[in-house]
Structure 1
Amino acid sequence: MPAFPIAKLVGIVVKQMGKPLANFAKERAKSNHFFRTYICMPPAQFYHWCEVRMKMYVMNIGRTGENSTIPKLNEQAAIELGSSLLGEGVIFAIAVGALAYEYGRQKSNEKSKEKAEQDFLTDLEAKVNELVITNERLETKMRELTRLVHYYDYAKLNKIKNTKKVSEIQSEFTSVWCY
């Protein structure tokens, strides 16, 4: 079964969220002089100027440095274009915000995974060190017990009782074995 195209769905949702904002901007530009004059129309006039200059450059008109004047858009067209630009800008801002949020979330998940792995490795290293120390202790006790067994056998065979009593050897044996 193919994967659900979540990216397309998110794109459609973002566009649909931007349309009401563009319509709001159009209505606001019609009723509010400040919004129309300072927010909607300047980006529209600049976009129109850039578009016409680019078309003139592509058609090889006005390349010689002649400063031909480009007529400004009428107020209604500027309001339409400005509100469309504003709507597209909002859509772009929402998309960038969603991407930034997702990037931060992924980074956070990655950091938590790395921390969990690092904690696991640290715990594993501590356990290995503990096992090494325990192993060294046991090897030391084994050598001591081997020495005591050989000494006990030697004392028994040769009946050497003057250097150490058998009871002392047995007490050493039990003290080493029971830690």
Structure 2
Amino acid sequence: MKEKQKIVIIDYGAGNIQSIKFAIKRLGFEAKLSNDAAEIRNADKVIFPGVGEAGSAMAMLRSTGLDTVIPTLKQPVLGICLGMQLMCNSSEEGNTTGLGIFDADVKRFNKQVKVPQIGWNQITNLETHLFDGVNEGEYVYLVHSYYVPECKDEICRTEYGVKYSTALHRDNFYGVQFHPEKSSKTGEQILKNFLKL
């Protein structure tokens, strides 16, 4: 049954999409890269990755019309790293207006901490089936200079100078600030849980 799942990774020129594709393949699934609206709408699961700068990534989404497609998707959608941040209302990075899926505004870490945060950090306050089989205090891999302050869509929290939301959920939309594809067994479990939703 699982082989028949149609998994699409949104390809808009801003992502480490190959490593996500390989991570999904290791779980026994095939994922397709696509920027075709019809193909994305028809997928069983959609992954929205992102690495880079918020303003230019949003410009790429707008140029392909995907900025209007993504918020209307009905199947489970997982935003990763910048993908999650673009699903928020706005970002201080380039004063960017986001997709408005999550009711949160992305802030830059203050000067008291080393930026970007690179490396392993703990996740706590785990909620929803996305974290089935994941223990409080597990470590995940993060690379980012901007963060989502604690908000009502939070389903997971991390501390780095400030407590912030490392994962978000609203309706069929999920977002993780960390890279599950680089987070060892914990990340693998989270991806597996997403594909089971």
TM-score (normalizing by structure 2): 0.17
Structure number with the bigger relative contact order (C-alpha 8 A, sep ≥ 6) is 1
Pick the structure with greater CA Rg: 1
Structure number with the higher helix fraction is 1
TM-score (normalizing by structure 1): 0.18
